[in-house]
Chain A
Amino acid sequence: MLSEEQLKLISEATLRKTAAIGLKHASENKAYLNKSIKDLRNELQSLPPKPSLVISAGPSLHRHKSIETIKDKGFNGHIIAVDGALGHCLRNGVVPDFVITVDPDPHRIIRWFGDPRLAERPVDDYFKRQDLDPAFRENEVARNAEMIELVNRYGSKIKAIISTSVSSEITRRCLEAGMELYWWNPLYDDYDAPESVTRKIRKLNGVPCMVTGGNVGTSAWVFTHTILKSPEVVLVGMDFSYPPGTDVVNTQYYEHLKEIFPDDPSKGLIFINNPHTGETLCTDPAYYWYNINFLNMAPLASCKTYNCSEGGILFGNGVEFRKLSEVLTSML
Protein backbone atom coordinates (compact mmCIF):
# COMPACT_ATOMS: atom_id res chain seq x y z
CA MET A 1 0.00 0.00 0.00
CA LEU A 2 1.14 3.56 -0.58
CA SER A 3 1.01 6.36 1.98
CA GLU A 4 -0.59 9.79 1.46
CA GLU A 5 2.86 11.23 0.92
CA GLN A 6 3.76 8.63 -1.70
CA LEU A 7 0.47 9.23 -3.55
CA LYS A 8 1.25 12.96 -3.51
CA LEU A 9 4.63 12.25 -5.13
CA ILE A 10 2.91 10.37 -7.98
CA SER A 11 0.41 13.18 -8.38
CA GLU A 12 3.15 15.82 -8.56
CA ALA A 13 5.19 13.68 -10.95
CA THR A 14 2.18 13.33 -13.26
CA LEU A 15 1.63 17.09 -13.26
CA ARG A 16 5.30 17.65 -14.15
CA LYS A 17 5.11 15.00 -16.88
CA THR A 18 1.89 16.23 -18.53
CA ALA A 19 1.41 19.98 -17.94
CA ALA A 20 4.01 21.38 -20.37
CA ILE A 21 3.16 18.98 -23.20
CA GLY A 22 -0.57 19.46 -22.48
CA LEU A 23 -0.15 23.22 -22.86
CA LYS A 24 1.84 22.76 -26.08
CA HIS A 25 -0.82 20.45 -27.53
CA ALA A 26 -3.60 22.81 -26.42
CA SER A 27 -1.93 25.60 -28.43
CA GLU A 28 -1.59 23.34 -31.48
CA ASN A 29 -5.20 22.16 -31.19
CA LYS A 30 -6.56 25.69 -30.96
CA ALA A 31 -7.00 25.88 -34.73
CA TYR A 32 -9.36 22.88 -34.63
CA LEU A 33 -11.62 23.98 -31.76
CA ASN A 34 -15.28 24.17 -32.56
CA LYS A 35 -17.69 22.50 -30.12
CA SER A 36 -16.96 21.69 -26.49
CA ILE A 37 -18.48 19.27 -23.97
CA LYS A 38 -20.61 22.21 -22.83
CA ASP A 39 -22.26 22.31 -26.29
CA LEU A 40 -22.90 18.58 -26.03
CA ARG A 41 -24.52 19.06 -22.62
CA ASN A 42 -26.78 21.73 -24.12
CA GLU A 43 -27.64 19.52 -27.12
CA LEU A 44 -28.74 16.71 -24.77
CA GLN A 45 -30.56 18.93 -22.29
CA SER A 46 -34.05 18.42 -23.73
CA LEU A 47 -33.69 14.62 -23.88
CA PRO A 48 -34.45 12.29 -20.96
CA PRO A 49 -31.24 11.11 -19.27
CA LYS A 50 -30.07 7.60 -20.12
CA PRO A 51 -27.67 5.25 -18.34
CA SER A 52 -24.10 4.99 -19.61
CA LEU A 53 -21.78 2.09 -20.23
CA VAL A 54 -18.06 2.89 -20.04
CA ILE A 55 -15.87 0.39 -21.89
CA SER A 56 -12.38 0.71 -20.50
CA ALA A 57 -9.40 -1.32 -21.71
CA GLY A 58 -8.40 -3.35 -18.65
CA PRO A 59 -7.57 -7.04 -19.09
CA SER A 60 -10.95 -8.15 -17.66
CA LEU A 61 -12.58 -6.87 -20.87
CA HIS A 62 -10.92 -9.75 -22.72
CA ARG A 63 -10.80 -12.29 -19.88
CA HIS A 64 -14.54 -12.07 -19.21
CA LYS A 65 -15.64 -11.39 -22.79
CA SER A 66 -17.65 -8.36 -21.62
CA ILE A 67 -18.46 -7.32 -25.20
CA GLU A 68 -20.17 -10.67 -25.82
CA THR A 69 -22.35 -10.14 -22.71
CA ILE A 70 -23.21 -6.59 -23.81
CA LYS A 71 -24.23 -7.83 -27.27
CA ASP A 72 -26.17 -10.73 -25.77
CA LYS A 73 -28.10 -8.72 -23.15
CA GLY A 74 -28.32 -5.40 -25.01
CA PHE A 75 -27.94 -1.94 -23.53
CA ASN A 76 -30.28 0.98 -24.02
CA GLY A 77 -28.03 3.88 -23.11
CA HIS A 78 -24.89 5.77 -24.10
CA ILE A 79 -21.84 3.65 -24.87
CA ILE A 80 -18.50 5.33 -24.22
CA ALA A 81 -15.26 3.60 -25.21
CA VAL A 82 -11.88 4.76 -24.00
CA ASP A 83 -9.37 5.14 -26.84
CA GLY A 84 -7.55 1.89 -25.96
CA ALA A 85 -10.82 -0.09 -26.15
CA LEU A 86 -12.00 1.34 -29.48
CA GLY A 87 -10.34 -1.35 -31.59
CA HIS A 88 -11.74 -4.19 -29.48
CA CYS A 89 -15.24 -2.67 -29.74
CA LEU A 90 -15.13 -2.16 -33.51
CA ARG A 91 -13.60 -5.57 -34.23
CA ASN A 92 -16.38 -7.17 -32.21
CA GLY A 93 -19.32 -5.37 -33.74
CA VAL A 94 -19.92 -2.62 -31.18
CA VAL A 95 -19.78 0.96 -32.46
CA PRO A 96 -19.64 3.23 -29.40
CA ASP A 97 -21.54 6.52 -29.32
CA PHE A 98 -18.45 8.25 -27.93
CA VAL A 99 -14.72 7.65 -27.80
CA ILE A 100 -12.70 9.56 -25.21
CA THR A 101 -9.00 10.40 -25.33
CA VAL A 102 -6.73 12.43 -23.02
CA ASP A 103 -3.14 11.08 -22.79
CA PRO A 104 -0.66 13.63 -24.29
CA ASP A 105 1.85 10.98 -25.42
CA PRO A 106 2.92 12.17 -28.89
CA HIS A 107 3.48 8.77 -30.55
CA ARG A 108 1.58 5.93 -28.88
CA ILE A 109 -2.03 7.03 -28.44
CA ILE A 110 -2.75 7.60 -32.13
CA ARG A 111 -2.33 3.84 -32.67
CA TRP A 112 -5.72 3.31 -31.02
CA PHE A 113 -7.23 5.26 -33.94
CA GLY A 114 -5.02 3.73 -36.63
CA ASP A 115 -1.71 5.49 -37.19
CA PRO A 116 -1.14 6.74 -40.75
CA ARG A 117 2.55 7.42 -39.87
CA LEU A 118 3.36 4.14 -38.12
CA ALA A 119 6.52 3.53 -40.15
CA GLU A 120 7.96 6.90 -39.07
CA ARG A 121 7.53 6.37 -35.29
CA PRO A 122 10.48 5.82 -32.95
CA VAL A 123 11.28 2.17 -32.18
CA ASP A 124 8.94 1.12 -29.34
CA ASP A 125 7.95 -2.31 -28.05
CA TYR A 126 5.03 -0.92 -26.01
CA PHE A 127 2.30 -2.43 -28.18
CA LYS A 128 4.00 -5.84 -28.15
CA ARG A 129 3.95 -5.81 -24.33
CA GLN A 130 0.73 -3.99 -23.40
CA ASP A 131 -2.40 -5.77 -22.13
CA LEU A 132 -4.98 -3.11 -23.09
CA ASP A 133 -5.64 -4.64 -26.49
CA PRO A 134 -3.82 -7.97 -26.93
CA ALA A 135 -4.69 -7.97 -30.64
CA PHE A 136 -2.10 -5.22 -31.10
CA ARG A 137 0.71 -7.43 -29.78
CA GLU A 138 1.23 -9.27 -33.06
CA ASN A 139 1.31 -8.26 -36.73
CA GLU A 140 1.58 -4.58 -35.79
CA VAL A 141 1.50 -3.31 -39.36
CA ALA A 142 -1.51 -5.42 -40.35
CA ARG A 143 -3.38 -4.53 -37.13
CA ASN A 144 -2.71 -0.85 -37.70
CA ALA A 145 -4.02 -1.06 -41.27
CA GLU A 146 -7.14 -2.80 -39.94
CA MET A 147 -7.63 -0.04 -37.34
CA ILE A 148 -7.33 2.67 -39.99
CA GLU A 149 -9.97 0.90 -42.07
CA LEU A 150 -12.35 0.30 -39.12
CA VAL A 151 -12.08 3.84 -37.77
CA ASN A 152 -12.58 5.27 -41.26
CA ARG A 153 -15.64 3.06 -41.76
CA TYR A 154 -17.38 3.88 -38.46
CA GLY A 155 -15.90 7.26 -37.55
CA SER A 156 -18.91 9.27 -38.72
CA LYS A 157 -21.09 7.41 -36.17
CA ILE A 158 -18.76 8.20 -33.25
CA LYS A 159 -18.41 11.47 -31.34
CA ALA A 160 -14.89 12.13 -30.05
CA ILE A 161 -14.68 13.51 -26.51
CA ILE A 162 -11.26 14.90 -27.16
CA SER A 163 -8.99 16.58 -24.63
CA THR A 164 -6.92 19.56 -25.74
CA SER A 165 -3.93 17.70 -24.24
CA VAL A 166 -3.73 15.13 -27.05
CA SER A 167 -1.41 15.41 -30.02
CA SER A 168 -2.91 17.35 -32.94
CA GLU A 169 -2.16 14.29 -35.08
CA ILE A 170 -5.00 12.55 -33.19
CA THR A 171 -7.24 15.55 -33.88
CA ARG A 172 -6.56 15.33 -37.61
CA ARG A 173 -7.01 11.56 -37.56
CA CYS A 174 -10.45 11.87 -35.89
CA LEU A 175 -11.51 14.57 -38.36
CA GLU A 176 -10.25 12.54 -41.31
CA ALA A 177 -12.37 9.59 -40.09
CA GLY A 178 -15.47 11.82 -39.95
CA MET A 179 -15.84 12.05 -36.17
CA GLU A 180 -17.60 15.01 -34.60
CA LEU A 181 -15.29 16.53 -31.98
CA TYR A 182 -16.30 17.81 -28.53
CA TRP A 183 -13.39 19.42 -26.68
CA TRP A 184 -12.44 19.59 -23.01
CA ASN A 185 -9.41 20.57 -20.97
CA PRO A 186 -8.06 18.36 -18.18
CA LEU A 187 -8.07 20.01 -14.78
CA TYR A 188 -4.30 19.98 -14.24
CA ASP A 189 -3.97 21.94 -11.00
CA ASP A 190 -5.64 24.45 -8.69
CA TYR A 191 -7.12 27.10 -11.00
CA ASP A 192 -6.92 29.69 -8.22
CA ALA A 193 -3.19 29.20 -7.70
CA PRO A 194 -0.76 31.74 -9.15
CA GLU A 195 0.73 30.45 -12.41
CA SER A 196 -2.01 27.81 -12.68
CA VAL A 197 -1.63 25.76 -15.88
CA THR A 198 -5.37 25.05 -15.88
CA ARG A 199 -6.25 28.74 -15.83
CA LYS A 200 -3.68 29.49 -18.54
CA ILE A 201 -5.13 26.83 -20.86
CA ARG A 202 -8.73 27.82 -20.06
CA LYS A 203 -7.83 31.42 -20.97
CA LEU A 204 -6.12 30.25 -24.17
CA ASN A 205 -9.06 28.26 -25.56
CA GLY A 206 -12.20 29.00 -23.52
CA VAL A 207 -12.95 25.27 -23.20
CA PRO A 208 -14.44 23.85 -19.95
CA CYS A 209 -12.14 21.82 -17.70
CA MET A 210 -12.97 18.37 -16.39
CA VAL A 211 -11.51 16.26 -13.58
CA THR A 212 -9.56 13.25 -14.92
CA GLY A 213 -8.74 10.92 -12.04
CA GLY A 214 -5.33 10.60 -13.73
CA ASN A 215 -6.43 8.40 -16.63
CA VAL A 216 -8.81 8.10 -19.56
CA GLY A 217 -11.16 5.52 -17.97
CA THR A 218 -11.94 7.71 -14.98
CA SER A 219 -12.29 10.73 -17.31
CA ALA A 220 -14.95 8.73 -19.20
CA TRP A 221 -16.82 8.06 -15.95
CA VAL A 222 -16.69 11.79 -15.02
CA PHE A 223 -18.01 12.64 -18.50
CA THR A 224 -21.00 10.28 -18.13
CA HIS A 225 -22.43 11.83 -15.00
CA THR A 226 -21.44 15.48 -15.52
CA ILE A 227 -22.10 15.97 -19.25
CA LEU A 228 -24.42 13.09 -20.22
CA LYS A 229 -26.14 13.38 -16.81
CA SER A 230 -26.50 9.61 -16.58
CA PRO A 231 -28.14 8.51 -13.33
CA GLU A 232 -26.55 5.05 -13.59
CA VAL A 233 -23.11 4.22 -14.96
CA VAL A 234 -21.88 0.71 -15.74
CA LEU A 235 -18.13 0.12 -15.99
CA VAL A 236 -16.40 -2.73 -17.78
CA GLY A 237 -12.66 -3.25 -18.24
CA MET A 238 -11.96 -0.87 -15.35
CA ASP A 239 -9.34 -2.97 -13.54
CA PHE A 240 -6.52 -0.68 -12.39
CA SER A 241 -4.57 -3.90 -11.92
CA TYR A 242 -3.27 -7.01 -13.66
CA PRO A 243 -4.67 -10.54 -13.39
CA PRO A 244 -2.90 -13.12 -11.20
CA GLY A 245 0.17 -14.51 -12.92
CA THR A 246 0.81 -11.42 -15.09
CA ASP A 247 4.50 -11.13 -15.94
CA VAL A 248 5.88 -7.73 -14.89
CA VAL A 249 7.02 -7.29 -18.52
CA ASN A 250 3.37 -6.96 -19.50
CA THR A 251 2.57 -4.22 -16.98
CA GLN A 252 2.11 -0.62 -18.13
CA TYR A 253 5.08 0.87 -16.28
CA TYR A 254 7.56 -1.95 -16.89
CA GLU A 255 10.12 0.35 -18.55
CA HIS A 256 10.23 2.53 -15.42
CA LEU A 257 10.17 -0.37 -12.96
CA LYS A 258 13.10 -1.92 -14.85
CA GLU A 259 15.09 1.30 -14.52
CA ILE A 260 14.32 1.54 -10.81
CA PHE A 261 14.69 -2.15 -9.92
CA PRO A 262 17.02 -3.55 -12.61
CA ASP A 263 17.52 -6.88 -10.80
CA ASP A 264 13.83 -7.55 -10.22
CA PRO A 265 11.29 -5.05 -11.68
CA SER A 266 8.45 -6.95 -9.99
CA LYS A 267 9.61 -5.45 -6.66
CA GLY A 268 7.68 -2.33 -7.66
CA LEU A 269 4.32 -4.14 -7.82
CA ILE A 270 1.65 -4.08 -5.10
CA PHE A 271 -0.64 -7.07 -4.37
CA ILE A 272 -4.32 -6.60 -3.47
CA ASN A 273 -7.06 -9.13 -2.71
CA ASN A 274 -10.48 -8.67 -4.24
CA PRO A 275 -13.00 -10.34 -1.88
CA HIS A 276 -15.69 -10.32 -4.62
CA THR A 277 -13.67 -12.54 -6.93
CA GLY A 278 -11.31 -14.13 -4.39
CA GLU A 279 -8.38 -13.21 -6.62
CA THR A 280 -5.14 -11.56 -5.54
CA LEU A 281 -4.21 -9.05 -8.20
CA CYS A 282 -1.05 -7.07 -8.72
CA THR A 283 -0.98 -3.40 -9.49
CA ASP A 284 1.69 -0.77 -9.95
CA PRO A 285 1.98 2.56 -8.10
CA ALA A 286 0.33 4.58 -10.90
CA TYR A 287 -2.64 2.19 -11.21
CA TYR A 288 -2.95 2.16 -7.43
CA TRP A 289 -3.11 5.99 -7.53
CA TYR A 290 -5.88 5.80 -10.17
CA ASN A 291 -7.86 3.44 -7.95
CA ILE A 292 -7.57 5.67 -4.88
CA ASN A 293 -8.54 8.74 -6.94
CA PHE A 294 -11.66 6.98 -8.25
CA LEU A 295 -12.73 5.79 -4.81
CA ASN A 296 -12.25 9.28 -3.38
CA MET A 297 -14.50 10.75 -6.09
CA ALA A 298 -17.21 8.08 -6.36
CA PRO A 299 -19.22 9.14 -3.28
CA LEU A 300 -19.34 12.72 -4.63
CA ALA A 301 -20.83 11.76 -7.99
CA SER A 302 -24.49 12.28 -8.85
CA CYS A 303 -24.76 8.78 -10.39
CA LYS A 304 -24.92 5.23 -9.13
CA THR A 305 -21.78 3.40 -10.25
CA TYR A 306 -21.71 -0.32 -11.00
CA ASN A 307 -18.32 -1.85 -11.63
CA CYS A 308 -19.14 -4.86 -13.82
CA SER A 309 -15.54 -5.57 -14.85
CA GLU A 310 -15.75 -8.80 -12.81
CA GLY A 311 -12.05 -8.36 -12.08
CA GLY A 312 -9.59 -5.77 -10.84
CA ILE A 313 -9.38 -3.79 -7.62
CA LEU A 314 -12.07 -1.09 -7.98
CA PHE A 315 -14.80 -1.73 -5.39
CA GLY A 316 -16.38 -0.15 -2.30
CA ASN A 317 -16.87 3.51 -1.31
CA GLY A 318 -19.59 4.33 -3.85
CA VAL A 319 -18.68 1.64 -6.38
CA GLU A 320 -20.94 -1.39 -6.42
CA PHE A 321 -19.12 -4.51 -7.67
CA ARG A 322 -21.67 -6.54 -9.67
CA LYS A 323 -21.98 -9.14 -12.40
CA LEU A 324 -22.41 -7.54 -15.82
CA SER A 325 -25.23 -9.84 -16.98
CA GLU A 326 -27.27 -9.14 -13.82
CA VAL A 327 -26.94 -5.37 -14.09
CA LEU A 328 -27.72 -5.29 -17.81
CA THR A 329 -30.77 -7.52 -17.25
CA SER A 330 -32.02 -5.23 -14.48
CA MET A 331 -31.73 -2.24 -16.83
CA LEU A 332 -33.78 -3.80 -19.65
Chain B
Amino acid sequence: MSLDIWMRENPLTYVWIGSYAVAFAIFAVEIAMVVHKRKITLQQVRLMREASEED
Protein backbone atom coordinates (compact mmCIF):
# COMPACT_ATOMS: atom_id res chain seq x y z
CA MET B 1 0.00 0.00 0.00
CA SER B 2 2.79 2.41 0.90
CA LEU B 3 4.55 1.55 -2.39
CA ASP B 4 1.37 2.47 -4.28
CA ILE B 5 1.28 5.89 -2.64
CA TRP B 6 5.03 6.43 -3.11
CA MET B 7 4.93 5.55 -6.82
CA ARG B 8 2.00 7.90 -7.43
CA GLU B 9 3.89 10.72 -5.71
CA ASN B 10 7.24 9.97 -7.40
CA PRO B 11 6.42 8.54 -10.83
CA LEU B 12 9.69 9.57 -12.52
CA THR B 13 11.84 8.15 -9.71
CA TYR B 14 9.80 4.94 -9.86
CA VAL B 15 10.29 4.71 -13.62
CA TRP B 16 14.02 5.51 -13.44
CA ILE B 17 14.99 3.28 -10.54
CA GLY B 18 12.57 0.47 -11.32
CA SER B 19 13.14 0.05 -15.02
CA TYR B 20 16.04 2.07 -16.46
CA ALA B 21 18.47 1.60 -13.56
CA VAL B 22 17.73 -2.13 -13.50
CA ALA B 23 18.08 -2.45 -17.29
CA PHE B 24 21.38 -0.56 -17.37
CA ALA B 25 22.68 -2.52 -14.37
CA ILE B 26 21.90 -5.73 -16.29
CA PHE B 27 23.72 -4.35 -19.34
CA ALA B 28 26.72 -3.41 -17.17
CA VAL B 29 26.88 -6.90 -15.64
CA GLU B 30 26.62 -8.51 -19.08
CA ILE B 31 29.39 -6.30 -20.50
CA ALA B 32 31.62 -7.14 -17.50
CA MET B 33 30.94 -10.87 -17.95
CA VAL B 34 31.66 -10.79 -21.68
CA VAL B 35 34.90 -8.82 -21.19
CA HIS B 36 35.98 -11.15 -18.37
CA LYS B 37 35.23 -14.24 -20.48
CA ARG B 38 37.34 -12.85 -23.31
CA LYS B 39 40.27 -12.16 -20.95
CA ILE B 40 40.09 -15.66 -19.47
CA THR B 41 39.84 -17.32 -22.89
CA LEU B 42 42.78 -15.30 -24.23
CA GLN B 43 44.85 -16.28 -21.17
CA GLN B 44 44.04 -19.97 -21.71
CA VAL B 45 44.97 -19.80 -25.39
CA ARG B 46 48.25 -18.02 -24.56
CA LEU B 47 49.10 -20.62 -21.91
CA MET B 48 48.39 -23.47 -24.33
CA ARG B 49 50.54 -21.80 -26.97
CA GLU B 50 53.42 -21.33 -24.51
CA ALA B 51 53.11 -24.94 -23.35
CA SER B 52 53.19 -26.24 -26.92
CA GLU B 53 56.25 -24.09 -27.68
CA GLU B 54 58.10 -25.50 -24.64
CA ASP B 55 57.35 -29.04 -25.84
A joins B in a complex:
no
Q: Which residues of A contact B (CB under 8 A)?
A: none
Chain B positions near chain A (C-beta within 8 angstroms): none
